[in-house]
Amino acid sequence: MAEQIDKKLLTGLKFRSSKKASEGGGFVPTERNLAPADVLNWKDNGDTVTIVTKDGKKHVVNKKAAEKSKPESGGEE
């Protein structure tokens, strides 16, 4: 298995999906904080990291900016 990504790099990124609506038979969009389990693949490019997620998005994160960001207050998800 590939090395797990550092949670600091995921700060501020969102995972977007949908869930079945309780009424009307449609779907409702949902959004939550990105978790390490949502990452399909990632690559360290030196100053940046490219992250590909299960919702089909590609994110490019500056490692220096991720190091400066403060962790959210509260418990782990």
pTM: 0.75
The predicted-structure confidence for 6-28, as pLDDT tens digits, reads as follows 899 999 999 999 999 888 889 99
Q: Kindly state the greatest CA–CA separation across the chain.
A: 48
Domain boundaries, the chain: 35-69
Mean per-residue pLDDT, 63-77: 60
Contacts of 15 (CB under 8 A, 6+ apart): 31, 32, 33, 34, 35, 38, 53, 54, 55
